[in-house]
Structure 1
Amino acid sequence: MITVESVSKSFNGKKAVDTVSFQANDQEILVLLGTSGCGKTTTLKMINRLIEADSGNILINGKNIQSQKVEEVRMGIGFVMQHSGLFPHYTIQQNIAVIPDLMKWDKKRTADRIRELLPKLHLSEDVLSRFPHELSGGQQQRVGIARALISDSPILLMDEPFGALDNITKANIHAEFKSLEELKTKTIVLVTHDVQEAFDLGHKICLMDKGKIIQTGTPKEMLYWPKNNFVKNFFTENRLLLEYKVATLKDLNALIDEHHFYEKLQFSEHTSVWDALQQLSADVSLSEDYESLVKAFNEYRKFQIV
């Protein structure tokens, strides 16, 4: 668990982060969302002391990070940075092995762990002898994630990890990210300016502006119960798509034929309306099911819109 209490940071007399507080629970993905310059990356980097806070407290599992050596704090935290952050003069194997080498793992342990991670991240062993410039953007990001996961730290910090990727590659990696068992046991704080990414990946979102957290909540809470006009307007451009994504079939139980959708069509209660519609739209024989689900969603939506 990560607890951030009234943390502030100024640069040259100007506040970049202003009395920020939040809590990321165990096995939760918390997203710091906002436009460039809002303070989200500075906030993230204070958690592993890449930037030192001016005031306030940051606790990991109840222990103040200021009471520990910087090296101790960072050894328990994986870090994925924008543009993968790979060392260009290192091979992929050497890049992934940076932390194990610092921790003085023996070579066999490191090699075994790398080979355990590669298939989970859809990477083949032949990439190990290559250099970063020889890989695609998507492959580089997967390697960056492998490097952060190799020591199996309980906490993962991610700074715009998918920001440099094209939309198709980003969508594929998002799907892989959500299904990766290695990540389901970790507490993750992810920074992004991408609203759809925040909704796709986050269990909880902290929306930031001008160094402050304006509202914290689940994707559904942010969309349907905004604290003020700033929050409401922030999601206006993508609103309909986001509504489809935050609604699950369980939300529509009273409006759909549950037996048909869950037993015949094999959907789960936790399937988002968006994912269900995507699957139904691919099969023309299911057009009636598609139409009935759209109708049910529209009925549900009437009672949610603020």
Structure 2
Amino acid sequence: MNHLANARHARLTRVGELDVLEISHPRFHASLALQGAHLYRFAPAGDQNWLWLSPSARFELGRSIRGGIPICWPWFGDPARNPGPVRSQLRGSDIPAHGFARTAPWSLAGFQETAEDLTLALVLEPSVNHREHWAATARAQITFRFSPSALTLELTTENNGSGALAITQALHTYLPASGIEQTTISGLEGVTYLDTLDRWQPRNQDGPVWFRGETDRIYQAAPDMTIETGERIYRLTARGSASTVVWNPGPDKARRLSDFPDNAWTSMLCVETANAADDYRELSAGQKHTLAMTLSRERRAS
């Protein structure tokens, strides 16, 4: 942690079983677990957490934190539902959903702070432990940029192998909602999506996205979006993406989820910046790809 030797606004602490970077900048606060490079709190000064964190979240080794922004890499979702080039790199049995990055230890690789903002980078070098499920060789770096007005994440994959690398991935952003039935997403109008709850059938989005129970869709575009969650208005922009995942477990699945209160589905949603389904990315040897998102907020007029 030599990068923190002269840090004024960050310190390494312990939450449960996990090492956590606590950032206490005069302009904002953030909490980031090194396991999974998992950001679970970001709040400009005087504001509440922009991210949803389950009240039942557990900070345990080998367990993903329920909430915040888990990093799904180097594959997204059900391994069997991934495109052929991604599946061809997977091996063994009991392959975990969403890859191994969200429960792997990441290392701090860079840190810079000013009076207005703070930037830090973490890296993941897949170890021999990951060879059980993954035949490829790659390096991942996640860069976080915090400011009073915006949160930016950039996930860069570098293919360190000698052959082609195919990945799917997502920045699995959980957002709080004061009432899910009053929550809408604008910007996806007219976009085709795969409805994973109905045999992955393609559908066309008619008007803004509303929530009427369990929702699990892969939209085949990544436009600028406005997310209205009752008291809050978020703006989400993506880069290096042509797919967006929208998810809410609804009442029945919520009862089956771990670390998730039965009624929590009414107060959260996920809008995920992704390379999913046909939007998988194939990298030649030495090639890089960056998946990025920026989240900002507007206050409702009083």
> How does the TM-score come out when normalised to structure 1?
0.23
* Bigger proportion of residues as helix: 1
User: Greater strand share, 1 or 2?
Assistant: 2
Q: TM-score, normalised by structure 2?
A: 0.23
